[in-house]
Amino acid sequence: MTKFDIEISEVGPRDGLQSISAIMSTEDKIAWIDALVAAGIPEIEVGSFVPATLLPQLADTHQLVEHAKQYKGLSIAVLVPNLRGAQNALKTSPTKMSIPLSVSETHSLRNVKRTHKQMLEEVANIAQFIKSLPVENRPKFEGGLATAFGCTIEGSVNEDSVVSLAVALMEAGCDEVGLSDTTGSGNPAQVKRLIKKVWAAVGKENLSGIHLHNTRGQGLANALAAIEVGITTVDSSMGGIGGCPAAPGASGNIVTEDLVFMLEAMGLRTGINFEKLFEAREILAKALPNEQLYGFTPNAGLPKGFKYAR
């Protein structure tokens, strides 16, 4: 796929679905993924390799990875909680594999039942396992710094701790790190400041993406702040579905449809077609009729005379 100004990583099939009780059928997920690809979404996080007993909503992730591999150029992302999950994921050869390391250790214990030390050991073991694979089967390995902007359990998070854990993740073998506002606590000034601090510690080339939640209505403002300082990949979720089961009160991700409108209206190319994006939303709405979908752009429509960025 063509490289555009900002890459949208659609996380709805993973982050969106893991936080709702309804189980979307594999058939509907496949139709949704197909529609997202048709809309021009360059990266899709199709699921997570966690035990089905914990997240039955994501039990078919391996099937979704295999299906998505038919699309040449599509970045297929998955999340893994530990080495075992990574080994299962690597059997399917995804493009990108992320592991969450919560800066809040309390959140880490609740989310993956591991301390920072234990998680870094998992990361090192995964990195070593990846190196044992043929080069063509090695995914990009990202360490996601969860609760980087605040925690609903511990409260404020020390920025120096975020930086030190970013360094530790790179030293343990990650190819890159990502910043996650898991609880929607961040603000634009904080976003800019923390990105610059992490860049200074690990290099700008090792932090290109950010994952934001809209819990307090700051999602798009935070995305814009990140883009203004140079972030090039932004996670979002169609309809704003999602959240974090381990973080009380953490509501959904920023809305893909609204994010794309903001970027295209600003003259930043995303490569995404709105007509087809809205068609993908209809598939999601029909598959999950009892779930509320958010977004101003789908409801208001595109303004008269709207033109895509060139």
DSSP state of 244: -
Q: Render 126-181 in DSSP notation, one character per residue.
A: HHHHHHTS-GGGPPEEEEEEETTT-BTTTBS--HHHHHHHHHHHHHHT-SEEEEEE
Is 174 known to be catalytic? no
Per DSSP (E only), the strands in 164-290 are: 176-181, 207-212, 233-236
Q: How far is Cα 71 from Cα 35, in angstroms, rounded to an integer?
A: 12
Catalytic residue among 244, 255, 277, 288: 244
| Block residue for tokens 């007993």 | 53
Q: Render 58-75 in DSSP notation, one character per residue.
A: GTTHHHHHHHHTTSTT-E
Helical (H) or strand (E) element with 7: strand 7-10
Q: Render 85-119 in DSSP notation, one character per residue.
A: HHHHHHTS--SEEEEEEESSHHHHHHHTS--HHHH
Question: Radius of gyration of the chain from Cα atoms?
Answer: 18
Residues with a known catalytic role = 244
